[in-house]
Amino acid sequence: MEPSPDRVLEQAEQVQASSDDECSRASAVEQLPDDVLVMVMQHLQLVDLLACRLVSKRLGALAMHPDSWCRQSIDDYVFEDGPRVDTCVVLRLAPCVHSMRLSSCGQSSLRFITTRCAARSLSLTLRSLQPDSNTEVFAQVVRNQLLLGRLRSVRLCFTERVCEELVTLGRGSDALLRTLAAATGLESLVFDTEIPFAVDRLELAPAYPSLKKFHCLLTREAESFVNTVLAGHAATLEDVALCPGRPFQYWVAYDKRTLGTATASLLAGMPRLRRLRCLVLPGLEAVAAVETLTDLSLVAFHLDSPEAAVALLRRAKQLRQVSLLFLENMHSLRDGSKRILAALASQSHVESLTVSGKLPPLEPLARALPALPALRELSVLQGPMDGELVVVQSITPYATPALRRLELSWEELNCPRRCVHAWVHLDAVKTALTDNPSLHILLHNPGACSDRNCQACAEDCHTELKRLTWKPSGGVSWATSEEKVGLFSYEPGACSSPRDHVPRDHVTGKWWRWVQVRHASG
């Protein structure tokens, strides 16, 4: 059946109206100010931003404006939801990008050496050595970006295999380390892993200091490079980490006694240092004189002589956050570890305290708590369940008046065969919560026993704990990594510290399962 003339006319009018609408929208877009169009282009995918060059002369000019590219990121190859965008095209046409990521340094990376596209952030990863692959290519990429003048942040990652191969071949990373040591204008330099060693001693320095953040694993091989960077940027450094997170197996073979006192002296001379993470280095007590230092993380290892850590904690009255990581719990080292914990009593202004790792007996920590009236957050991680109970028992309205958050996590191998439900029923736990109604106790890896005769599990209470998802581990089951347990005693909706009673962990994004605990049975 053929459509009627009226229907044909109606369809023609709709097509004309649609065409008029498109023209009207295009005209409206053209009438927008340049700065508004640039703001829109900042959120386009790469393929769409490149296509804007062909729409009109005005949009084409705006599409090539540096501000239109300030949010873009490119990799060796960039994959969008639509067509693939060859990095060569972007490197040839784009005036700048926010970040570049290069995951190889062979022939395919040569385009990064010659590009005129300036990046603000540069991430370099070397996963394996090839005949045409070496760290000198990375050095050339960094130098090119430094010359373009926009580079502010460099992040590098070398796999353990690459570092071992470089050592075996006797090939250092001198060109790359020299380039970074002499770089000016950088604000952040981060090594995610151990750095390849340098064959020759580095004694270069930047023309002027600029670094604010420097993270690099301090080893004997890297000591010259680390000290060169610290000396060259001492006037501007604010965040220094010399022992980024590493597996415990690495530290077993590490010997800090091969390091001198130069590093600690350099740290003590930094007028803007706010955050420091490092080993208990020889001479570290001198850092107590840095008045701007408020966040201190110490890694205690091979504690034959803990005097530096003890003296630092006793003298540094300006600290607000303190973290202590103990990597060994040998009987011969316990005295030193306990002395460090006891020295915390001098930190009357500390608001956040974390102790973790191979923990010594926690009685010195419990005795130090009354001397920490400003303490708001306390974390005791990877300790034995019974050992952490000593800390719970020391929490009272008089000893810890400001405490709002107590975080605990138990080492699976050290945890006795009982569940978190039984732990919640302990008088010490109930008393700590009911006597301190503003307190939240957060359990990172709660355990559940498999004992059918468990008295706590047999009671009709705390049903939230029974809805946890468990995974077996020998005689004890453990909550999956997706669920954590939070304990409180106040009435629901009456929390005086809402930021501590949240559905998700703000760092990991994991769910918290909250349980109300009353002093009465159940």
List all residues 6 or more positions away from 315 whose beta carbon is below 8 Å from its beta carbon: 285, 288, 289, 346
**Which uninterrupted H or E stretch holds 35?**
helix 34-41
What's the longest Cα–Cα distance across the chain? 100
Give the closest residue to 406 by CA, choosing from 383, 56, 138, 419. 383
Which contiguous run of DSSP H or E holds residue 407?
strand 405-410
| pLDDT tens readout for residues 470-488 | 555 544 455 554 568 889 9
Mean pLDDT of 7-20: 48
How far apart (Å, rounded) are the C-alpha atoms in residues 77 and 355?
43
pTM to 2 decimals?
Answer: 0.85
What mean pLDDT comes out for the span 3-32? 55
Residue 19 has pLDDT above 50, yes or no: no
Options 3.80.10.10, 3.40.50.450, 3.40.50.970, 1.10.10.60; which CATH number does 294-412 get?
3.80.10.10
Instruction: Identify residue 288 by its one-letter amino acid code.
Output: A
Cα distance from N-terminal residue to C-terminal residue, the chain: 77
Q: Where are the domains of the chain?
A: 32-71, 294-412, 437-466+482-521
Q: What is d(CA 20, CA 23) in angstroms, rounded to the nearest whole number?
A: 5
Lowest-pLDDT choice from 6-20, 148-162, 324-338, 440-454: 6-20
- Could you tell me the pLDDT band of residue 466, with boundaries at 50, 70 and 90? low
Q: What is the mean pLDDT of residues 454-459?
A: 76
Q: What is the pLDDT of residue 503?
A: 77
List helix spans (H) across 371-426. 385-393, 420-424
Q: Express each pLDDT in 416-449 by its tens digit.
A: 455 778 888 888 999 999 999 999 999 887 766 6
Inform me whether the pLDDT recorded for 457 exceeds 80: no
Are 276 and 296 within 8 A, CB to CB?
yes
SS3 383: strand
Rounded Cα distance between 245 and 154, Å, is 18
Measure the CA–CA gap between 471 and 412, rounded to whole angstroms: 12
DSSP tag of 101: E
pLDDT tens-place string over residues 164-177: 666 555 555 778 88
Is pLDDT of 33 > 90? no
Sequential DSSP letters for 455-500:
HHHHSS--HHHHTS-EEEETTEEEE-TTEEEEEE-SPTT--S-GGG
CB 100 within 8 A of CB 119: yes
CA 464 vs CA 93, 387, 422, 439: distances in Å:
57, 25, 14, 19
Q: How many CB atoms neighbour CB 326 within 10 A? A: 24
Between residues 334 and 376, the one the model is more confident about: 376
**pLDDT for 17:** 47
